[in-house]
Chains A and B, each alone.
Chain A
Amino acid sequence: MSEPELNPILHGEVQQASLLGYTAGFLLTLVLLGAALLLTEFHPMPSIYLLGSISGLAMIALFCQTFLSFGLDITRHNIWKSVSLVLTIPLFILTIGLTAWMFQQLAINTMIPGANIMPGMTMQPTMLQ
């Protein structure tokens, strides 16, 4: 469905590739995730703050990937990708966030009091250790 004379290599989306951007995205993601791993292994702060920190590191890594690796910006070639991503991210957050809130409330209302609802913060002996 295209004109055979136009060279696809010259298309804006092909030409926007940047080795510098891709390398930076790769290295930054690796470093950020490595930092999150180190934090988890060495556990230097209370669990709730640790969870917040690694979530923050993950968010930064995702941002790096969006701008450096995906190369999203508001140029003519990318604007609709950027717009659609920005409009979809809230749905991602709503689906997971409202579900989590709802089920936390459900657990309070319907589960037997005293049951261990959030076990992530405790250590339990099990068969795998």
Chain B
Amino acid sequence: MTTQTLEPGKPPELWHYGAEAHDVIAAKTLGFWLYMLSDALIFAGIFAAYGVLDHSMNTAGGPGEAQIVHPIAAFWQTIAVLTSVFAYSVATVALKHNYRQLVVLGILAAMLFGAIFLALEMLDFADLFAHGATPQVSGFLSAYFLLIATHGLHMAFGMLWLFVMLIQVIRFGLTTPVVAQLLNLRLFWQFQAAIWVCVYVFVYLKGAI
């Protein structure tokens, strides 16, 4: 298959003319997906750190897992984030049918439930801080807060992105760059829900066992 001889009677095609066949949307979503995989590995590293630091020898006399996780309260957060992602999914279906107003409404609903998620999380943090459980107390608490806060920071950036997309959809309509961004945002937002599943089960539920 290296240097082959010509087949008689079949002149080889040497140059490619015709439309510049470059699928921009496919390239952009693949690129973004690859970024999401690297993001998944950031979370893998943080989960590994959490796995190392969530033992009694890492609590330095302070609270351990069982004392600070509230699975039922966190379930409300679960509902909030899943609903937010579902709202954005509705926006994606609206995009499929070219219903611009419904796309805008979906984004707004996603922002609302995302805000509820972040508010619940910040209330939880405030409660923990008030009880003296801060990241500076022990290695375990450092790991706990880092894991939750990293996910929360991703959610916050997602909220900003939702807002920017809101403006772009209203201003430019559903053009190719806007559609590519909406697809990317969908991957990002859905990914936050997937990571939350891991966080909920392996931090909140595991800690309460």
Is A–B contact present in the complex under a CB 8 A cutoff?
A: yes
7 more contacts with CB within 8 A, not counting A13-B29, A17-B95, are: A14-B25, A17-B92, A36-B201, A96-B44, A99-B52, A119-B55, A121-B209
Residues of A4-29 at the interface with B, using a CB-CB cut-off of 8 Å, are 6, 8-9, 11, 13-15, 17-19, 22-23, 25-26, 29
- A-side interface size class: 35 or more
Does B166 touch A at the CB level, under 8 Å? no
Whether B37 lies near A33 (C-beta < 8 A) is no
- Residues in A with CB closer than 8 Å to B208 are 40-41
Residues 120-155 (chain B) with a chain A CB within 8 angstroms: 131-133
Known A58-B197, A127-B132: A92·B44 in contact at CB below 8 Å:
yes
A38–B44 alpha-carbon span in the complex (Å):
27
Please give the residue numbers on chain B whose beta carbons come within 8 Å of chain A beta carbons, in ascending order: 19-20, 22-26, 29-30, 33-34, 37, 40-41, 44-45, 47-48, 51-52, 54-57, 59, 62-68, 71-72, 75, 78-79, 82-83, 85-86, 89-90, 92-93, 95-96, 98, 131-133, 174-176, 179-180, 183, 187, 190, 193-194, 197-198, 200-202, 205-209
Cα distance A84–B33 in the bound complex, in angstroms: 9
Q: Within the complex, what minimum Cβ distance (angstroms) separates B129 from chain A?
A: 12
- Say yes or no for A108: interface residue by CB 8 A criterion: no
Asked if B190 and A55 sit within 8 Å, CB to CB, the answer is no
Query: Is there an interface contact between B65 and A116, defined as CB atoms closer than 8 Å?
Result: no
The A interface, classified by DSSP as helix, strand, loop or mixed, is helix
The complex places the Cα of A115 from the Cα of B54 at a distance, in Å, of: 14
Closest 10 CB pairs of A and B: A119-B56, A22-B89, A58-B201, A8-B179, A2-B24, A8-B176, A26-B86, A128-B67, A99-B48, A95-B44
